[in-house]
Structure 1
């Protein structure tokens, strides 16, 4: 487990991938205009940019339903 990142903290706050990317973009003067992901990613996005663009959560289908769609090539 020595090569595993367990937590990323910036200014005493823990951040996931979305938060790291938003903060990195902002520190370089880049506006964030689009975000997508699961519900957790969207919640993290909204917490960091409450006045910003609204994130879009991916499909809420159950994993089994997704597997069936892939098998049918839908």
Structure 2
């Protein structure tokens, strides 16, 4: 079973910041980032994510995506 918490907040009129952490008995995942709203349906996201599973190397790095809601 996984459990976690996440939050987002407005940083500027078109920019939202977010953070979350999720964990289980074998893994932990956390991320932080920001989303820039281009319009009501499209946003650009830039964030940092880290994932660690017991007995495995940590996987982390920057990510970028375009989110389109239809």
TM-score (norm 1): 0.24
Which has a greater percent of helix? Answer: 1
Which has a greater percent of strand? Answer: 2
TM-score (norm 2): 0.25
